[in-house]
Amino acid sequence: MPDIKIVFLDIDGTILRPDDTIEQSTKHAVAQLKNKGIEVFLATGRPLHEITDIGDELSVSSYIAYNGAFAVHNEKTLFNEPLPPSLVDNLLKTTKENNFDIVLYSKNKNIFPSMESGIVKEFIKTFHLKKNALYEDMNKEEILGSTIITTQEHVEVKFKHIHGIHLSSVNVEGMKNCRDVIREKVNKGVAVKAVLGALHLSPEQATAFGDGMNDKEMLSVVGSGFAMGNANPNLFSYAKYKTTDVENSGVFNGLKSLGLVN
């Protein structure tokens, strides 16, 4: 069995069930990892300021947030890569031209050009977003992540002119036409590498769990990558292992197969 020292866990669809609760088996597994001195990171596309309550529920205080743009280990920042202002401008211009909505995430707020449309209101409700604000140019240099909010399919074709990014479907029921903006040079995999380097750990000492295509880089760079049973089918080729789904002890069963929990 690999000598695992660190575990990265996606949130939505991995530890968080569709009803926004966490299985007792997942809580039990995380507690066992921590008791063994194994580092646990929550690794998500969500902004940091909206996930600390989930961390508190699991007694986890280390995070990769904004799809890899920011990493913190017990309050020490390990990685911080905001979007270039030119990319923010391009995203805003493209969404406006195509009548899409967009949210930009800073370290402290979820920033919307408008919060009037039904899909934006539903997005805010679905993800329980609390720290919301309207966009102002002064925020441009502080943007760490972004999500295109729309009910339309195949929106990625409208963003192909923007180099260095791709769009990843949000793997949450009712929001699957929304797209996270993923940078080729800043993503969960890049952040995982930065964390491993800072903590002097090898990829073979790391495992990760995910369910969406924004997890593909993360699963690819660790020694033991697990795709959840409920994962986007396209994710399976990036994972070394497949576990059960989020409502059937997926995280616990994957960790148990490595001999890390019982």
Domain range enclosing 129:
85-183
- What integer pLDDT is reported at residue 188 of this predicted model? 97
**CATH number for the domain harbouring residue 25:** 3.40.50.1000
* pLDDT < 70 positions in the chain: 1, 137-138
Verify that 178 and 91 share a domain, yes or no. Answer: yes
Residues 202 and 179 in one domain: no
8 A C-beta contact, residue 111 and residue 134: yes
Contact of 4 with 260, CB cutoff 8 Å: yes
Which one of 138, 158, 183 terminates a domain? Answer: 183
**196 occurs within a structural domain:** yes
Q: The CATH number of the domain where 169 resides is what? A: 3.30.1240.10
**Assigned domain for 262 exists:** no
Residues 244 and 250: beta-carbon distance below 8 Å:
yes
Q: pLDDT tens digit string along 70-102?
A: 999 999 999 999 999 999 999 999 999 999 999
pLDDT digits (tens, 9 = 90+) for 141-172: 889 999 999 999 999 999 999 999 999 988 78
Q: Does one domain contain both 144 and 29?
A: no
Look at residues 158, 183, 208 and tell me which one is the last residue of a structural domain: 183
pLDDT given for residue 144 in this prediction: 96
Same domain, 71 and 101: no
pLDDT of the residue at 61: 96
Q: Given 149, 183, 217, which residue is the final one in a domain?
A: 183
Q: Does residue 140 share a domain with residue 18?
A: no
Domain assignment present for residue 1? The answer is no
Assess whether 99 and 113 both reside in one domain: yes
- How many domains does the chain divide into? 2
191 with 174, same domain?
Answer: no
Q: Are residues 243 and 200 in the same domain?
A: yes
pTM over 0.85: yes
Please indicate, yes or no, whether residues 115 and 133 belong to a single structural domain of this protein. yes
